[in-house]
Amino acid sequence: MERDHLTRRTVRKLDFVLLPFLALLFLFNSLDRSNIGNAETAHFTSDIGLAPGDLNTAVAVFFAFFVALQPVGAALGRRYGMAIWVPACMTIWGLCTILHVWVRTKWQLVTLRIVIGSLEAGFYPVTVSYLSLFYTRYEFAKRLGLFYGQYAIAGALGSILSYFVFSRFPSDHHDGTPDEWDRKSWRSWQVLFFLEGAITVVIALVGFFWLPQSARTAWFLRKDEREWAEERIRLDLASSESTSKSQDVHQSALETEETEFTQGEESRGLLSPPLDDQAPSRRYSSPNSNPTSSLGLSPHDVVSAFTSPYLWSLLFLNILSSIPVTAFSVFLPLVLSHLNPDPNNPSKSTPALTNLLSAPPFLCGALTLYLFTTYSDRTHLRLIPILYALLLLVAGLTLVVVLPASWPIPRYLALCLLLSGSFIPSPLIVAWLTNNTPSPGKRAILLGINGWGNLAGVFSALLFQPKYGPRYAVPFVVTVVAVSVAAVGFAVFRWAVARVNAVREREMEGWKSGDVEVERRFGEGPALVGRRPVWDAVVRILAALGEPGLRARMWLEEAGKGREGDERVTFRYGL
């Protein structure tokens, strides 16, 4: 009972001190990414003398840098620590958001979007990896839903904020150059950029003092809570491997404590972590390590992440399923603009009302995301809820395509249905990767590579071009096809993961307890002999390069020694 009380007290403080602040960071990260779409409804590009297509170019370039630098940002965040890296990057991109006030040319706009995209790269994987250091696996998805839900909340908040800004600072639109403006007053989109950028900078500066590097340095926890915050994560990592096969070789007090965590666990294996000083120091489960530290990265983490057998198929599916969420985070106000034409000029929309109409679909997305992630934690399932969400997406997209433009209310409700399924797949993919990657360093790199799923933003910028407005029929049809392919792909992926688990079970039937102990200590076992084609092929290529490849070959051989976490045959992937 005392431990239960300590757990509740510790988790409550994490929920009310750490999680809300991380959610606030992501909220303004999302606002600074998507506010250019809100600004465009107030004639941003035409006010500064640019063509409407220049906005799509800026968005595409943003996502190109944002996507390409995801693993780099994740690695740097892991290297220098979330508590330093994220607030520093956030301060700079907040200043760049403010600088949009003085943009007058296409190259200035593109340059600012490149800088913001480069700085935001890695933000999501770094913060998610950081969040996973404080919560056990089946506390995690619901918290991730609350965190990632800020992406949807940002769409709603950005729309509501834009409504009030555009209502409070109405300005007559002039097609032409900035020289024609009244210099004594700001345009409404200038106020929007300045306000959101300034708030971002203030929050980032607070982050330097608010975020701990680990539970051991958490200012909001008492000493006993800090110790238990680390210990419960260590036990959760240990419980990712069951003890059924290792009863003959490994019994300890820690193993006894783990039994309460092993019932119905997602990632199952056959071993507890090394408990003696003879185990390699780089093992993620070493009792001397700090399981909640946001620092540290090994060569094995990097190489193992890039050669992960399941990552690349998940990445492809993530790109396809993320096209709707990346598209509508920027372009939903433009899609809705035809629903409320300006009474004085039917060819134009009312900026304030357009942005207000954008809020309910985003709120629907936030609500369904929370419900799905809560269901996922309760049932210990990740892939099935993704399939349900994709069905919602396909239904909403199909209705938007087939309903005529003369039915604005049904089309609006279809958009609400569409947004209800849009935000769910990505965080549950992240939850699956996190739950099935015990090593924190490898986890950070995997999440960084998975961040390439934001390549969907480039595709959405190319799809939702002004020439397809106002109905955007072609982009919607393409998106339906992409999401349908993703749904089939996730079903196949789930079958493949279950098959891998079954194969590992069969391979271990002939193992002896000594074989299990060898893999536990050194990451080697009978089933691994002669099964390292990726390592062997790369080493042969480097050897052929002669002296220039020698150093890289030595580094790769060192990084490839042994198997950790999910690489072990004793590990079982969750579904």
How far apart are the C-alpha atoms of 255 and 273, rounded to whole Å?
Answer: 9
Task: Tell whether the model's pLDDT for residue 514 goes beyond 90.
Answer: no
pLDDT at 351: 66
pLDDT at 100: 93
Nearest to 178 by CA among 106, 256, 130, 280: 106
Please indicate, yes or no, if residue 286 is contained in any of the structural domains: no
pLDDT at 534: 56
User: 521 exposed, middle or buried (CB, 10 Å; 0-12, 13-18, 19+)?
Assistant: middle
* 176/464: higher pLDDT: 464
How far apart are the C-alpha atoms of 77 and 467, rounded to whole Å?
Answer: 40
* 197/438: higher pLDDT: 197
pLDDT at 240: 54
Residue 365: which pLDDT band, with cuts at 50, 70 and 90? confident
Lowest model confidence (mean pLDDT) among 145-159, 203-217, 349-363, 545-559: 545-559
pTM exceeds 0.85 for this model? no
Residue 107: which pLDDT band, with cuts at 50, 70 and 90? very high
Please indicate, yes or no, if residue 283 is contained in any of the structural domains: no
pLDDT (mean) for 284-294: 48
Please indicate, yes or no, if residue 110 is contained in any of the structural domains: yes
* Range with top average pLDDT, 67-71, 176-180, 181-185, 351-355: 67-71
Tell me the percentage of the chain whose pLDDT exceeds 90.
18
> Count H helices, E strands: the chain?
24, 2
3-state secondary structure of 345: strand
Q: What value does the mean pLDDT of the chain take?
A: 76
Distances 360 to 65, 153, 392, 416, 418 between C-alpha atoms, Å: 30, 10, 17, 7, 12
pLDDT at 443: 82
Contacts of 327 (CB under 8 A, 6+ apart): 456, 457, 460, 463, 464, 475, 479
Please indicate, yes or no, if residue 241 is contained in any of the structural domains: no
How far apart are the C-alpha atoms of 191 and 39, rounded to whole Å?
Answer: 10
Token digits of residue 404: 């005529």
Distances 487 to 266, 278, 418, 482 between C-alpha atoms, Å: 22, 46, 15, 9
pLDDT (mean) for 535-552: 56
Residue type at position 366:
A
How far apart are the C-alpha atoms of 52 and 348, rounded to whole Å?
Answer: 14
How far apart are the C-alpha atoms of 216 and 172, rounded to whole Å?
Answer: 56
How far apart are the C-alpha atoms of 68 and 71, rounded to whole Å?
Answer: 8
How far apart are the C-alpha atoms of 334 and 322, rounded to whole Å?
Answer: 19
Domain span at residue 30 reads 2-178+187-215+307-497
User: 113 exposed, middle or buried (CB, 10 Å; 0-12, 13-18, 19+)?
Assistant: buried
pLDDT (mean) for 206-234: 89
* C-beta neighbour count of 295 within 10 angstroms: 17
Please indicate, yes or no, if residue 99 is contained in any of the structural domains: yes
Task: Tell whether the model's pLDDT for residue 265 goes beyond 60.
Answer: no
How far apart are the C-alpha atoms of 97 and 31, rounded to whole Å?
Answer: 10
pLDDT (mean) for 299-311: 77
pLDDT at 529: 43
* 258/349: higher pLDDT: 349
Please indicate, yes or no, if residue 436 is contained in any of the structural domains: yes
Lowest model confidence (mean pLDDT) among 40-44, 283-287, 456-460: 283-287
Token digits of residue 239: 């419980």
Residue 210: which pLDDT band, with cuts at 50, 70 and 90? very high
Contact 566, 436 (CB under 8 A): yes
Please indicate, yes or no, if residue 202 is contained in any of the structural domains: yes
Contact 27, 150 (CB under 8 A): yes
Task: Tell whether the model's pLDDT for residue 490 goes beyond 60.
Answer: yes
Residue 244: which pLDDT band, with cuts at 50, 70 and 90? very low
Task: Tell whether the model's pLDDT for residue 283 goes beyond 50.
Answer: no
CATH code of the domain covering residue 398: 1.20.1250.20
Indicate if the alpha-carbon torsion angle 105, 110, 113, 114 is positive or negative: negative
- CA 386, distance to chain mean position in Å, is 15
Please indicate, yes or no, if residue 555 is contained in any of the structural domains: no
Number of folded domains in the chain?
Answer: 1
Residue type at position 411:
R
Contact 272, 407 (CB under 8 A): no
